[in-house]
Structure 1
Amino acid sequence: MSAADAFELIREEQIDEVNALARYYRHKKTGAELISLINDDENKVFGIAFATPPEDSTGIAHILEHSVLCGSEQFPVKKPFVEMLKGSLHTFLNAMTFPDKTVYPVASQNLADFRNLTEVYLDAVLFPLLSRETFEQEGWHYELENPDAPLIYKGVVFNEMKGGYSSPDQVQRTYAQNALFPDNTYGLSSGGDPKVMPELTYEQFAAFHKRYYHPSNAQIIFYGDDDPDARLEILEKYLSRFEKAERAPIVPVQPKFDAPRYEVRTYPADEENKRSAFVTLNWLIEETDDHTEALRRSVLAHALLGNSAAPLYKALTESGLGESVIGGLNGHYREPWFNAGLRNADAESADKIETLILDTLASLAEHGIDKATVESTVNTIEFSLREKNTGGYPRGIMYFFAALGDWLYGKDPLEALKYEDALATLKAELAAGKPVLEERIRSLLLDNSHRVTLVLKADKEQAEREEAAERAKLDAVRAGLSEEDVAGVIATTQKLKALQNAPDKPENLAKIPTLELKDLEREIKTVPTEELALSKVRTLYHDLPTNGIVYFDLGFDLKTLPRELIPYLPIFSRALTQTGTSKEDYVALSQRIGRSTGGIGAQRFASSLVDGEGSAAMLIVRGKAMADKTDDLLAIARDILTDAKLDNRDRIRQLVAQDKARHEAGLVPSGHMVAFSRLRASMTEADWLSEQCGGVLQLFFLRELAAKIEDDWESVSEALASIRDHLVNATTAVANVTADAESWTQFRPRLEAFLGDLPTRPAVLADWGSLPAPKNEGLTIPAQVNYVAKGVSLKKLGYEPSGALSVVTKYLGTTYLWDKIRVEGGAYGGFARFDPSAGIYAFGSYRDPNLTATLDVYDGVPDKLREDISDTDLTRSIIGTIGDLDGYQLPDAKGFTALVRTLTGATDAYRQARRDQVLATSKADFKEAADLIAEVARNGHVVALGSESAINKANAERNGFLEVTRVL
């Protein structure tokens, strides 16, 4: 029987919305379902999903997601996932656990690589080894080094979730979901609650895989330009080994509340203050099979909260009851939920916030949502649907997620990929004057008794209590162990460490499919770029297929700004589009942007030059619109650059509060980036700028600025106006356009006229002075885990490393650092970073239970590199590095990347030389890298972000080597 005969074709149809021929299959023997999307997208995607509804909060599905990627029947090595990370050209390679499903997607532009990835993933999920040691490593285990040592918990997921429960925003979302769904699986923590995780046994873990990771419970997608018949052949090889089994039951609907509920919970904080609470109203929304209805709900959520000018968002912001808005429509559930509220609020104001939200909704239901807001919202959503700009995610993966939103619950997955009929119906309803959104405000929100008001309060003693409770629990376990039991735990600890340190057998490693060096492209990929002068402004044009969309960037040189104005840049950037102009307030401006464009805003760019000590630093206004709407796009750009109301004190006050709250909320989820930013700030001009505008220094500045707005508003307003006067100057401007040729022909004369109207004055560069002295720092936050960075500027030490150092870095991240920091140390991640432009080499860890032990690992890197590297590891590390260089990009990203390369001096010749160096990397380069990276141990400095107790403990161990600063 052919592979095609093993599948029943349920339906075949062309789906224009995803530009693909869709074939919907069912595997005859097992019942596994498949969507095969056939089109010309070279970024091929495979994904397999299983319904995995947990019955408790032990994190069983999450631990299993990690564990199946730790060795399988066909590939019996410790980390086939990492081997593919090391030696693949993948454009996506990951797995994710949702509240009721687990998804394993991969993508690659290279056909051989794509098929390798597909087979490794299929074998991993269907035939994993799942040893007890893997469960202990990835989930949790008791660790005891010797009879006198304290008993501790270790485990990758255990520490990942400790980090998750250290993030107030994640805690708020978890508690809200739990409260809305007390009677089904959504009321549990699918990621795992660290307090509950040690209740999970290996036997339960293995049984969960047997029950749910079966083809009968699988939903599969293929997408792209690969052979559709070969897809079936690959699947049949694996699926044919199974008999039919029961599908997982669909998550039942949550019984509805008779009346709204009110809950008060707490989260750990180092300090309590009156403005440290989260107050949200949360509604459960009934499921719908009607895709037009689903679109109505999405439009409603965006109309209420989609931007700062949306009426509910605006009411919450202007109330002054909190610092930033929380809310939106939450999908990925059988029954979605909607929430709205405030971060950094006074818990005593919870009733006022609840009343404000309900009264605002009641007023909107009675009087209607402003037509301009509705029109802007619909255009914004329609533009997004048609643009299909999935950013860093391959489009096929986003389509998989969209299909699963119906598919998992027994509905037709292909209908979820369509939007034209629903969009036409909704637009017709609105054009006819039907109160579509107002009716849903009443039915879904105001008249919906299934509502929870959640007040999440800071508790400065909670972390200490939880730490004490965990210690007491472990001490009780330890006290109950006999001498024989203690010896057994020590033996188990030693056995696990021995297995973690033991190399895989070469013959097993050889089973991991890989490309060969001859399969790699020797030449760099280039972006078509034409450079010209329009109205004397340097202009770059990139002729790429954009489906009639014009992507426009306009940059101004930040080096014209005096040093003291630099910290104001983030607020200035937001103020351009969020303060209004002399002709319209910020609501009208926001509506105009949404109505006429696909979005416009400003962002900062800073990078070291590739051939020197200097930097490229620009403020770039970025916008996009259909070619026939570019007059509107340019008119908006002109207004915000020359006429933004930078003296709008109320809006600036609100923007500062929002930015401060967002920085504080991001400290735990992005702790590694916070540490890296602080680490690099003393190394290059560009990194100093980035820390001033986006790191800890920016947070400190925002706190000071909030007070200054009240006490010395005139100086704040003058600073913002001064930035505009310095920056908006045609003399220092660079324009960048990405569009197809027809759209460019329409846009070019309009752009030339626009650029000719820009203010023009001589360019005067400011003196930013010297960089701060490097130092070792301990930044304290209320967290149960740490983020540890250590690095050095090789360029300042006189080195000019070749591209081979990138290969070494790839190797370290997938071998030594992965093994020592993640596998043995229990951190969620450990990595090395080499920035060839800046010449900076640094190490970092993520959600790490350790601190000084991690620094010891970093310092051990040179010895590791002096060991012999296998031919296989060398080849795979080269391939993986080339994969990083050749990452897949959509047209707008290609055009922006070309701009960045131009600004930094990364010419095609430079890029080709580095590629040649990567491809020519030898074992000798690894030995040379050992001496180079030894400079990190000798001269590197450290930035650690973590709890006060962890920082103090590290200082006690190393004679106070960290200068301590409280961040939160």
Structure 2
Amino acid sequence: MTLHPAFELVRDEKINEINSQAQLYRHRKTGAEVLSLVNDDENKVFGITFKTPPEDSTGIAHILEHSVLCGSRKYPVKKPFVELLKGSMHTFLNAMTFPDKTAYPVASANLKDFYNLVDVYLDAVFFPLLTEDTFAQEGWHYELENLDAPLVYKGVVFNEMKGVYSNPDSVMQTLVQRSLYPDTIYGNSSGGDPKDIPALSYEQFRAFHTKYYHPSNARVVFAGDDDAAKRLEILDNVFSQFEAAPVDADIKLQPRWNAPRQIKGTYAGTIDAEKRRDGMVSVNWMIDPPSGREETLSHGLLSYLLAGNSAAPLRKKLTESGLGEGMIGGGISTWLRQPSAGFGLKGIDPADAEKVEKLVLDTLAELVETGFSPEQREAAINTFEFHLREQNTGSQPRGMSYMFTALGSWLHGGDPLGPLSFETALAALKEKAGQGHFEAEIRRLFLENTHRLTTGIEADPEQGARDTKAEADKLAAVRAGMDDAALKDAIVQTERLKALQEEVDKPEDLAKIPTLTLADLDREIRTVPTEEGDIGGARLMYHDLPTLGIVYLDLGFDLHVLDKELLPYLPLFGRALLQTGTSKEDFVSLTQRIGRSTGGIAQHRSLATKLDGSGTAAWFFLSGKAVPAKVGEMLDIMGDVLLDARLDNRERFRQMALEEKAGFEARVIPSGNSLVDTRLKSGLTEAGWIAEQLGGISYLEFLRSLVKQIDSDWASVEATLRQIRDILVNKKRMVVNVTADDALWTEIRPGLEAFVSGLPAADRADVDWSVSLHPHWEGLTIPGQVNYVGKGANLKALGHDLSAASSVVLRYLNTTYMWDKVRVQGGAYGGSSRFDLSSGNFAFLSYRDPNLLRTLDVYDGAAKALRAGIGDTDLTRSVIGVVGDLDRPEFVDSKGYSAMWRILTGTTDAIRQQRRNEILNTSRADFAALADALEAVAAEGHVVVLGGEAAIVAANDQRQSKLKISKVL
């Protein structure tokens, strides 16, 4: 029976796999479809999605996604989205454009806050203001400062996509998609090609919204423990304002090719003078839409079997071939109506492209003949099943995962409920697995599939300059065609837009944005049960939490016993433990054993300045998860990898080093702000310096030299790896962290104690990590048209000892001044400030920024902006937003790990409560205190910029800056 007369109940089913009652509704008046998932998840999710097929590459869907969140009928302020960022307890708040759809999901564990988010988002998508000024700001516009200045393009999306097209991996992905589906909307760039974006008109922009943003074209998902009837009431209040308007938004199918094709392209990059390693190549296929859940699961399992880990046969063949430095692709992607698949290599000599193609095809043909071993199939199925049942979606709310899973079929007229279950499909696949199913699928999907595309790209050192010149010439031609009146009008329009961007929203309009009050917030911190003790001679922390029959185990080893010169080896040392094999089994067998017996074993490192300022908490972790019956096997595996890993496996280690280097180089441009942040802080504190050695530009330099050393002096590298193991694996400098319920803990404790007792023990003191810290003034160059601009300092060293209330001040600064000046007015994709209370490190950062000096001026004006004062509403909202971050729901394994890490850093519950009190009691005096500190940053902070060489040289010349220029890519 329907819960609301305006909706027809189409289906009502219990889906045990996600512990949800799934109800599919259709709005009688408009035809809008609603999937209502009723379960006990406090992290409530709402998402509305529209089919938005782009007809060209002007980025119309992407620009609209940005723009609808810039003011609406009910909330006529410039940035309701930012007001929510400022003052909501959201656990997710964003929007995203895909090649065929645009999605607007929100989530919150607070019911009142959740309804507020839903209300603002529904008004935003259906009744946006969409002014011409918003289109200019978020999309593109001409900017002309004065009659003597050059005409330039500005716009948030325009500049965002310049950053995307500066990334070789993105260039490759775009070329593959557009070439694999040339006769469909997938042949266009939904994000927008910077060369095409300026062709988009405001009229086209408005018409696109009118056509596609309608309830008749909507798919809505609710998931969580909120009231199911209330969901429909909220929706009908909006939908009933519309009449039915069938929308032709179906995604046409790409006609199949009769023969494979090839395509080549270039990206703006440099060429290695010693050996060409600037190319990428991948072999790609278009695949028919899956017929149901079983086929979808089959695609995922086959992808994992082929390339899901370092021991998977196709990945292994590619990485061991010596043809490249790292794999790209990795399997079947089901995001599009017609899925695609791809496998290839990056870091190749472009002359070897045909060799890579042949290797991919030959390996697939060989697997059809030889088949997968029982061990391979068992490991893949167990790993897949474990993750399906665990439902650990990391930082993403589970309901969002359900939403996108359902949309894959639902968006194209298929069943939204079927993809959410898996028991029947998985049982059928298990039955078929040993009967040649996956081998037959390789033949059907790949070897007999003539819709195949081999795509290659290589670096072109001149492309960046050509693209810059082409844009300048295009703008010059536009300017030449403008008479004096047109030029003056362009100046007036530029000034008008800037004036509008500077305007402050009316208080009465801002008050319309729904918000919580301080009374809605919990005054007390949330705690995690923790029992500390000893086990087998090591330090123990145990957390009694409901884990649905899974044991989570973290083995931590204190890094302070290692000389600081050894620290850069740790990322690869950790990989070597799990990916080189042991004296008893090669790494393929070891990987399969991990897959068969556990839910996964992983390694990582954690760093933080201790709360008392006494130094750095620095630990290496080996973490695993398993059901109780398999915990003994998991411990055996952990013991084998810790004590018996094949650290003498030169070829395997060399492959990992090349993969690590290639992966890091691929992350430089998309993660430029994080690298700038790490570089800034490496000159401020010990923890910052270590982070740079383990994951910053210094680490990239280390990897490049290590690759050469492996070839020239392997004996020294092997000796270093053995030295790290001999020193690090020591139960006297170890922590054992267990998260499980009491019954599981009682069952597995004896075996864990016996395991720990058998580990090496030695009395080792901390070694000297003292380093000479020097602030960086650097310009790090990349072949791109955007910059990542950072400025920072250590506030404690400058004499400023702030409270936790500073996080509230920064929330306000980031969502007002920084958003307005760096993003809205400056055209960067993002700008923010970060502060770590424990270390005192502070940094301003920008992302995909067309500016450099202008952004630094914005940073230096931040103190003045804070001194301008804050209203009561903004203060309250900023407090709420910070408390929302503190109270963000965690999955059970994260709760246990976070509790342990707080202890290791000295963050007691008493200190956490004190900080919460400081946040809840934030006052204007805290704004003044941070303003004082930011004045010191403006005067004494240091600067790191990652960006184009021309921009950095120009900045040095213009300001006589002292940025030391060095090349990164």
Residues 1:604 and 2:605 aligned together: yes
Identity %: 57
Q: 5 Å matches for 1:746-895? A: 746-895=747-896
Give 2:321's aligned residue: 319
Alignment TM-score, normalising by the size of structure 1: 0.99
1:676 aligned onto 2:677: yes
Q: 1:415 aligns with which of 415, 418, 421?
A: 418
Q: Secondary structure at the match of 1:815?
A: helix
Higher mean C-alpha deviation, range 69-78 or range 685-694: 685-694
**Are the equivalent residues in 2 in contact too, given 1:40–1:225 (CA < 8 A)?**
yes
DSSP-derived class of the 1:46 partner: strand
| More moved, 930-939 vs 808-817 | 930-939
1:539 to 2:540 alignment: yes
Match in the other structure for 1:276 = 278
User: Helix, strand or coil for the counterpart of 2:5?
Assistant: helix
What is the deviation of 1:116? Answer: 0.1
Match of 1:238 in 2: 238
Q: Output the amino acid matched with 1:865.
A: L
Q: Secondary structure of 1:719's match?
A: helix
**Aligned-pair CA distance for 1:272:** 5.0
Distance 2:247 2:757 in 1: 65
Q: 2:353 aligns with which of 350, 353, 367?
A: 350
**Residue type of the partner of 1:23?**
Q
C-alpha separation in 1, matches of 2:80 and 2:424? 44
TM normalised by structure 2 equals: 0.99
The residue that corresponds to 2:68 in the other structure is 68
Indicate the residue corresponding to 1:183 in structure 2: 183
CA distance, structure 1, for counterparts of residue 936 and residue 903 of structure 2: 31
Partner of 2:524: 523
2:390 is aligned with 1:387: yes
Measured against aligned partners, the alpha-carbon deviations of 1:676-705 in whole angstroms (never above 9, x if no partner) come to 000001111111111101110010000000
Which residue matches 1:903? 904
Consecutive aligned runs of 4 or more in structure 1 exceeding 3 Å deviation: 270-273
CA contact under 8 A between 1:317 and 1:325: conserved in structure 2? yes
- In the TM superposition, what whole-angstrom CA distance separates every residue of 1:451-494 from its partner, at most 9, and x where no partner exists? 11011011000000000000000000000001111111111111
What secondary structure is seen at the aligned counterpart in 2 of 1:178? helix
Of residues 570-579 and 323-332 in structure 1, the stretch that sits farther from structure 2 once superposed is 323-332
Report Cα offsets for 1:77-116 as digits up to 9, x if no partner. Answer: 0000000000000000000001000000000000000000
CA distance in 2 between counterparts of 1:318 and 1:34 reads: 49
Distance 1:288 1:248 in 2: 23
Tell me the CA shift for residue 665 of structure 1. Answer: 0.2
Pairing 1:24-173 to 2, within 5 Å after superposition: 24-173=24-173
Give the C-alpha shift of residue 290 in structure 1: 2.1
Listed one character per residue, the Cα deviations across residues 721-769 of structure 1 (whole Å, up to 9, x for unaligned) are 0000110000000011111222212221111111101100112211122
Which residue type is aligned with residue 647 of structure 1? D
Number of paired residues? 966
Q: Give the unaligned 5+ runs of structure 2.
A: none
Q: Deviation digits for residues 789-835 of structure 1, max 9, x if unmatched? A: 11111122233210111111000110000000000000000001111
Shift of residue 924 of structure 1?
2.1
Map Cα deviations across residues 359-378 of structure 1 (whole Å, 9 max, x no partner). 10000001112221111111
| Separation of aligned partners in 2, 1:794 and 1:290 | 57
Contact 1:296 1:436 in 2 (8 A): no
> Where does residue 361 of structure 1 map in the other structure?
364
Q: Distance in 2 between matches of 1:957 and 1:449?
A: 56
Whether 1:371 and 2:369 are equivalent positions in the alignment is no
2:916 match: 915
What amino acid sits opposite 2:11 in the alignment? R
1:202 maps to amino acid = Y
Assess if the C-alpha contact under 8 Å between 1:272 and 1:459 holds in 2.
Answer: no
Q: Distance in 1 between matches of 2:36 and 2:743?
A: 33
The answer for the alignment partner of 1:13 in structure 2 is 13
Residue 651 of structure 1 aligns to a residue in which SS? helix
Name the structure 2 match of 1:307: 309
Contact 1:831 1:845 in 2 (8 A): yes
Q: After the TM superposition, which residues 622-661 of structure 1 pair with which residues of structure 2 at under 5 Å, given as runs?
A: 622-661=623-662
2:293 — aligned with what?
A: 291
1:203 maps to 2:206: no
Residues 292, 419 of structure 2: 8 Å contact kept? no
For residues 252-271 of structure 1, the aligned pairs below 5 Å read: 252-271=252-271
The range that moved more, 287-296 or 821-830, is 287-296
CA–CA distance in 1 between the matches of 2:105 and 2:628?
35
Cα distance between partner residues in 2 of 1:902 and 1:481: 66
CA distance in structure 2 between the partners assigned to 1:874 and 1:613 by the alignment: 33
Partner of 1:591: 592
- Paired position in structure 2 for 1:329: 332
CA distance in 2: counterparts of 1:525 and 1:800, whole angstroms: 26
Q: Could you tell me how far 1:260 is from its partner in structure 2? A: 0.4
Contact 1:60 1:205 in 2 (8 A): yes
Q: Distance in 2 between matches of 1:937 and 1:722?
A: 45
Instruction: Say yes or no: does 1:566 pair with 2:567.
Output: yes
1:555 alignment partner in structure 2: 556
Letter in 1 for 2:57: S
Q: Which amino acid aligns with 1:240?
A: S
What is the root-mean-square deviation in Å for CA atoms of aligned residues?
1.1
- Deviation at residue 936 of structure 1 after TM alignment: 1.0
Contact 2:686/2:770, CA 8 A, preserved across alignment:
no
Map Cα deviations across residues 210-253 of structure 1 (whole Å, 9 max, x no partner).
Answer: 00000000000111111111111111111110000113332111
- Provide closer, same or farther for how the CA distance between residues 236 and 791 of structure 1 changes in structure 2, counting only shifts above 3 A: same
DSSP 3-state at the match of 1:4: coil
Deviates more, 1:712-721 or 1:832-841: 832-841
Would you say the 8 A contact 1:321–1:345 is kept in 2? Answer: yes
CA distance in 2, matches of 1:106, 1:653: 44
Name which of structure 1's ranges 20-29 and 263-272 shifts more when overlaid on structure 2: 263-272
Structure 1 CA distance for aligned equivalents of residues 500 and 294 of structure 2 = 54
SS of the equivalent of 1:5 reads coil
Give the conservation status (yes or no) of the 8 Å contact 1:685–1:771.
Answer: no
Deviates more, 1:943-952 or 1:391-400: 943-952
Is residue 784–residue 946 contact of structure 1 (8 Å, CA) maintained in 2?
A: yes
Distance 1:926 1:560 in 2: 41
CA distance in 1, matches of 2:337, 2:776: 51
SS of residue matched to 2:706:
helix
Deviation at 1:3, TM superposition (A): 7.5
In the alignment, residue 667 of structure 2 is paired with which amino acid?
G
In 2, the alpha carbon distance for the partners of 1:272 and 1:537 equals 49
Q: Which moved more, 1:475-484 or 1:282-291?
A: 282-291
Alpha-carbon distance between aligned partners in 2 of 1:382 and 1:563, rounded to the nearest angstrom: 41
In structure 2, the CA distance between the partners of 1:362 and 1:136, relative to structure 1 (3 Å rule), is same
| Partner Cα separation in structure 2 for residue 839 and residue 524 of structure 1 | 23
Distance, in Å, in 2 between the alignment partners of 1:959 and 1:498 is: 31
Supply the distance in 2 between the matched residues of 1:477 and 1:593 (Cα, whole angstroms): 62
Deviation readout 1:254-306 (Å, 9 max, x if unpaired): 10111000111000013455111001000111112221112111111110010
Displacement of 1:881 after TM fit? 0.9
